[in-house]
């Protein structure tokens, strides 16, 4: 996937645990863990908004687009 989730980086910068973020955002620990590991298929804007408010960051601090190389034959 070309979208990289940098949630762990922002959590480390803010010295916040997954448990604390989960409580403040109102997401289950398992759902937040799936997002943190980059295994989520989607994220709601309301969830992204809540995460950004709690971590005091921008969406671009959490989500990163990485170009994938297309192989040609």
Three-state DSSP at 26 gives coil
Contacts of 61 (CB under 8 A, 6+ apart): 6, 9, 10, 52, 55
What's the pLDDT score for residue 2?
85
Q: Which alpha helices (DSSP H) does 14-67 contain, by range?
A: 18-25, 29-36, 45-55, 59-62
Three-state DSSP at 69 gives coil
Which domains does the chain show, CATH number per domain? 3-65 (1.10.260.40)
- For the segment 24-37, what is each residue's pLDDT rounded down to a tens digit? 999 999 999 999 99
Average pLDDT in the 54-65 region? 96
pTM, two decimals, is 0.86
Q: Which residue has the tokens 């908004």?
A: 49
């Amino acid at each position: 996937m070309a979208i990289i989730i940098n949630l762990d980086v922002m959590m480390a910068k803010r010295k916040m645990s997954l448990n604390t973020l989960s409580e403040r955002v109102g997401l289950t620990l398992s759902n937040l863990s799936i997002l943190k590991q980059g295994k989520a298929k989607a994220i709601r804007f309301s969830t992204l908004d809540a995460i950004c408010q709690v971590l005091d960051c921008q969406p671009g601090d959490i989500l990163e687009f990485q170009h994938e190389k297309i192989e040609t034959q």
